[in-house]
Every structure is written in structure tokens, then in C-alpha cells.
Amino acid sequence: MEGAEAEERRLAASLTARYSDWVVEALDELPGSFILTDPAMPGHPIVYASRGLASLTGYPPREVLGRNARLFQGADTDRAAVAGVREAVRGQRPHQVSILNYRRDGEAHWVLLHLAPVFHASDGRVLHFLAVQVPIAPPASRRRTPPCRAARPFVVFAACREEARVEEECPCASHAGEVFVDVDKRGQDAEEPRVASEHEKEKALSTANSIFSALNRYSKLTGLVVCGKRCDSVGIPALSSSLNLSLGRIKQSFVLTDPHLPDMPIIYASDAFLSLTGYSREEILGCNCRFLNGPGTSVEVLEQINQHICSEQACTVHLLNYRKGGSSFRDLLHISPIRNASGKVAFHVWVHLDEGAKYDFNGLTPEVWQLGAVGAVRVAVRSLSASGSLLRPSQ
């Protein structure tokens, strides 16, 4: 009995040591079937199981905590799919795969498994792995997917999309590769895989985004901020000194993101943006803009942003975002594609405005004031792209 209680405390500490004590209650309120695993603990055990997992699999949380996630596999689980998940864990990369799992009663069912590492925002260490399971509907019940969504990944929630570069093997988690490992070598005669629809993929991404928002929110209370992507500037192109100088003259709060890189990372942030959000430039370069999102951020508005980015169109939205210190602000956000001299989209500019603050717009409306920043960025990018001076010469 004492051993079981000690094990429960050990598993609980995996969460409470990194987030506030209220994180479990917050996760319990979230919809969807998902688990959190700890790669630093022997056996890479499950340390949290959502209430929705019980509905999908029949396993109550108490029966899965402390066990490896391979318990959901069965006789016809595809070994190749399991190997892909294992390699993603070892490489600390997000991964999505359709896989045949098994419920507690032995019934097989197809799910879209959405795996994502949870990183320490400061030093890039992997703290947990998040695994979301979304049931895949039979093909006959599928809904048609809008062309925009079918054409490109869901970039706003791209914390969990496939990374283009392979990360180094996790130095702090000797048990990381044990998650989802098919140690019984099962699945030799797996049935034909079922393909997840775009709607199911978006549902998985939306669920993951909500979970990351909760983890980020409650990790801030402990001073240990987490994110869904290793937030560093490795692989991020360095802008030329000429472009940096031109952008530095723009006084509005804005960032530039690169749509051609995995997860559409921030490659430039203005001083006003740093003042507005409380983050340092080193903390956000290389990160997706979602780090500003939190529990009150509207998923519908984020989807609207995604659709405009897909179609390379500008949009203005009202969004609840969060500063580094945890306080929220009403964000008047304008996003616009920035094209180079040849007419191709080179960047996206995100102009942020705290609607609760007082500004001197020199007689202009807030929206027109934001467009002034967009125009200044366009002039700088187009003039320098014509001479090939957007990036440093070495790049």
C-alpha cells in the first residue's frame, strides 16, 4: 500500500514540480483524449490521462498512470507506424500518424495519434510528451474539406506539425525511446491503414493547442515557461543589417514570420513588441506566434487567421493574448503578407495593438495606424529584395 502511494506521489510530482498544483484540474476540464508522458522517468510512463481517454479507450486514468503508452497496442498494430513514433520521440520531433489501437475490451479502433514534445522555453529541454488520440471516422462518413485547408498544414496550430530538421537525441531522457515501442514485435499482418481527414487533423491540432496553452499558463506560475517547439534561433535566417536598420525605424509593435520555414517562426521582433509582451528578443526568435495564446484565446479566431494565411490575404482580428507575466490583453491584430520584388510572399507581418492602452495615433484610426507599419515593412523588404539584401551575405 505504501509502495502504491509513493508511486502516485512520484507520478504526480512529474507535473506539480513543473507546473502549479492546479494544472491537473485545468487539464481535466479540457475536451479530447490525451496523455502526458515523462521521458526522464524509467519506462517513460504516463503521468497524466484525460477524462476523454476513458471514453475513447475504456481505460480509467488510474489503470494507465505509471504504464507505458504501448498498452494501447494490439495484435494488428502496425510495426512501421510504431517505429515512426519511436524515432520522433528520440529525435524530439512532433509526429502525426494513423494507427490501429485497442480499447480495454480488446476492440480494435483507428485513431490519429498526434505526438508533440513539451519543451522548456529557456533551455530547450524536453519535459513531457503529449499524445492526442482522435478517432478516425470511416470514409463514408467524411465531410468535404475546404480547399484552403487541404492545400497546406494548419499553420497557426503548427506547434505539432512535422519539423523539417531532425533534432539531436534527447540528452536528459535516457528512457525517451521506450514510449510506444512495440516490444512484442506485433503487427506483422497489419490491415490497410485508415487515412485521417483534414478535419480530424485539425481537431488534433486544436486539442494540442488548448493543452499547450494550459501548460504554458500554469508553468508561468512556477517560473518555468514551456512551449510546443524548441524556442531557439538555430536554423533561423539572419536578416541583413540594412533590413534590420530599416525595420528598427518602425515604431509600432510587430513581428515578422517566415512562412517558408517549419512552424512559421518569428525572425524579427520590434522593440515595441518586446515592451508590449514582456519577452526578450532571445526568448521569441525562432518561436511560432502561438506563445502569446492562452486559455481565453479564441480557437475560431485562430482558425480565421490560418485561413487568411493559407490564401495569402491580410486580415484584422480581435484576440485575447497573454504577456510573459501571465496578464491578458485585448489584442487588435493585423496580419499581412509581405511580398518581395518578384511578387512572392517573403514574410508575414503581425502588427499588435493593446486595445486597453492609450496611444497617440496622430488623428488616425488604430487600423490605419497599423497599416502604416505594414506599408513601411513592405517598402523596406521590396527595396532590399530587389538588390538581394534581405539576408546576411553568408546566407
Query: Is the same domain home to 201 and 245?
Result: no
Question: Does any domain span residue 236?
Answer: no
C-alpha–C-alpha distance, residues 302 and 317, integer Å: 9
Which pLDDT value is given to residue 145?
Answer: 44
Burial class (CB in 10 A: 0-12, 13-18, 19+), 327: exposed
pLDDT tens, N- to C-terminus, the chain (395 residues): 566 777 888 888 888 888 887 889 999 999 999 999 999 888 899 999 999 999 999 999 999 999 999 999 999 999 999 999 998 888 888 899 999 999 999 999 999 999 999 887 666 678 899 999 999 998 765 554 444 433 333 334 333 333 333 333 343 444 555 555 544 444 444 456 789 998 998 899 889 888 988 888 787 666 666 766 655 554 566 777 788 888 999 999 999 999 888 778 899 999 999 999 998 887 888 888 988 988 889 989 999 999 999 899 999 999 999 998 889 999 999 999 999 888 999 999 999 999 999 888 888 899 999 999 999 999 989 888 766 656 544 44
Helix (H, G, I), strand (E, B) or coil at 89: helix
Contacts of 58-66 with C-beta under 8 Å, sequence gap 24+, read 58/103, 58/104, 58/105, 59/103, 59/104, 63/104, 64/35, 65/8, 65/11, 66/7, 66/11
* Domain stop point among 173, 197, 227: 227
Which pLDDT value is given to residue 148?
Answer: 41
Which pLDDT value is given to residue 231?
Answer: 55
Which pLDDT value is given to residue 206?
Answer: 86
Query: Is the same domain home to 264 and 169?
Result: no
Dmax over CA atoms of the chain, in Å, equals 73
Question: Does any domain span residue 131?
Answer: yes
**What range does the domain containing 60 cover?**
2-227
**Cα→Cα distances 241→157, 245, 388, Å:** 31, 6, 13
Question: Does any domain span residue 395?
Answer: no
CB atoms within 10 A of CB 304: 15
Query: Is the same domain home to 180 and 314?
Result: no
* Domain stop point among 227, 262, 294: 227
Instruction: Collect all residues with Cβ–Cβ distance below 8 Å to 98 and sequence separation of at least 6.
Output: 81, 110, 111, 112, 113, 136, 193, 194, 195, 196
pLDDT tens string 94-136: 899 999 999 999 999 999 999 999 887 666 678 899 999 999 9
Q: Where are the beta strands (DSSP E) in the chain?
A: 33-37, 46-49, 95-102, 108-120, 126-135, 226-227, 253-257, 266-269, 315-322, 328-339, 345-354
Q: Where are the beta strands (DSSP E) in 104-233?
A: 108-120, 126-135, 226-227
CB 157 within 8 A of CB 302: yes
Query: Is the same domain home to 271 and 311?
Result: yes
Instruction: Collect all residues with Cβ–Cβ distance below 8 Å to 74 and sequence separation of at least 6.
Output: 100, 101, 102, 106, 108, 186
Query: Is the same domain home to 70 and 200?
Result: yes
Query: Is the same domain home to 8 and 93?
Result: yes
Strand partners, 6: none
Of 118, 120, 121, which is closest to residue 94 (Cα–Cα)?
118
Of 268, 274, 327, 272, which is closest to residue 296 (Cα–Cα)?
327
Query: Is the same domain home to 315 and 210?
Result: no
Query: Is the same domain home to 371 and 314?
Result: yes
CB 330 within 8 A of CB 356: yes
For residue 375, give the CATH number of its domain. 3.30.450.20
Which pLDDT value is given to residue 277?
Answer: 94
Which pLDDT value is given to residue 163?
Answer: 35
| Number of separate domains in the chain | 2
pLDDT tens string 269-316: 999 999 999 988 878 888 889 889 888 899 899 999 999 998 999 999
Query: Is the same domain home to 252 and 378?
Result: yes
Query: Is the same domain home to 82 and 222?
Result: yes
